[in-house]
Amino acid sequence: MKKLLVPILILLLIFTSVSFGKTKLIFTVHWSDYQVEGVKDEKGNLVFKGLKQYVEEYMKTHPDVEIEIRSVAFDELLKKIIIDHTAGLPSDIYVLYSLWGVELVRSGILDEPSADVQNAVRLLFVKPAVEGATIDGKIWGVPIEVDNYALVYNKKLLASAGFKKPPRTWSELVSMAAKLTKRNPDGSVAYYGFAFLAGWDSAVVHPYLALLYSNSGEFLTKDFKECLLDRKEAIEALDAELELFRKGGTDTSASVWNFPAGKVAMMIMAPWYETSLKIGFKDKYAETVGVAPIPYLKKPATCGYTWFIGVDSASKNKKQAWDFIKWMTIQTMPNGATRMGELMAKNIGAIPPRRSDLDKFPDELNDLYTATFVKELIHTIQEPNVAQGQEIKTILMREIVEAWNGRKTAEQALKDAKKKIDEILKENY
């Protein structure tokens, strides 16, 4: 027994020294199981790689690094980042919605990337994504996902009402939506011509901003000192939305989530909804779903937002964390694509923000759904990275919903929004 004890102890010592010698990185994301573990077929064979497979590949080539993936729900991500950081147990790497960036940067939670990373982002990524990762003039992470909005329509419902093409301008949309809304004999709505979604800030604010930009309007001044929602362009844009309600093309009970059930003819949606539509329409997907640029008021425009990946300033392994990020997002594979781009396009169903990735995945990015979103990147204006961005977005959503419900005119709703938003801007700029 004593003879065995010595080799066991030596083995234990080697094992622990190897483990302790490794640099451990914690990588927190908000992705679901298949996005982390990979997409598998019925037999359990891997069809599309998930984050885990890329991390394993990295750990094989970098045996001194161990990466643990932690996944939390989207609603919990910001809370987790803040609480972990405050508790002194930060994740080394995390993905971030650009709207949260300002508070994290101002509080010193995000680590500033090196000049080579900042230059690479400026040089290699699409404009809205670069703007998304830029806070107070500096780049604070590498964009991993850029989202914008387009008009998603039900080809069959449009055809059954005699429309061969989707609307090109907003006034066409208003008149088509009214004709596409069908009621049952008891008065209930059988089909909505158009649907918003009242309770979800992005589904209210982003389509409105798209319309505002298409009317040559602006949301905030460049220096974030004033909200510009009381201007003529802004009021006209909301009035254009209200016209949809007045003409009977939609109401506050309509929901974008009813589109996959074939009950909604048109909606404004983001690229990541493709999988839900495929599941909803099954083999009828290709013949039913169509995508077009958002119908405009004066000129084509859409609104966008970005997710970027960054490092916590309290991480003890910042260099290793940035090395991994560079390997995932900036270094390319032999086919010229980045690993993050491949993960986004093939698994997560989002548009990769790196320019060179956009033509590497034609099956995914040039299909009937995503192609329009990719083309619309040139008309995409990034949601502003402003302090208290979430609060400002919610205020605007609530005032727009007040107008939708007929409790305020477009002018009054936007005047009230401006008043509250200006108070927040005054507090922060």
Residues that bind other proteins (CB under 8 A): 79, 82-83, 85-86, 103-104, 106-109, 186-190, 197-200, 251-253, 255, 388, 390-391, 394, 398, 401-402, 405, 407
No. of helices (H) and no. of strands (E), the chain: 19, 15
Instruction: Give the nearer residue to other proteins in terms of CB position, either 117 or 254.
Output: 254
Terminal alpha carbon distance of the chain: 73
Among candidates 51, 196, 213, which has minimal Cα distance to 128?
A: 213
In the block, residue with structure tokens 């005119």: 409
CB of 313 to other proteins, least distance (A): 11
- 371's enclosing H/E stretch is helix 370-375
The CA-atom distances, in angstroms, between 394 and each of 383, 400, 410 are 13, 10, 17
Rank residues 109 and 158 by Cβ distance to other proteins and give the closer one: 109
Q: Of 28 and 302, which has the nearer Cβ to other proteins?
A: 28
Residue closer to other proteins by CB (options 90, 113) is 90
**Residue (82 or 228) nearer to other proteins, CB:** 82
Shortest Cβ distance from residue 152 to other proteins (Å)?
A: 20
Place of tokens 């790689």: 49
Angle at 15 between CA 318 and CA 17, to 5 degrees: 50
CB of 197 to other proteins, least distance (A): 7
Q: Which is nearer to other proteins, 216 or 394 (CB)?
A: 394
| CB of residue 229 to other proteins, shortest distance in Å | 18
At its nearest, how many Å lie between other proteins and the CB of residue 217? Answer: 24
User: Quick one: three-class SS letters along 244-309?
Assistant: HHHCCCCCCCCCHHHHHHCCEEEEEECHHHHHHHHHHHHHHHHHHEEEECCCECCCCCEEEEEEEE
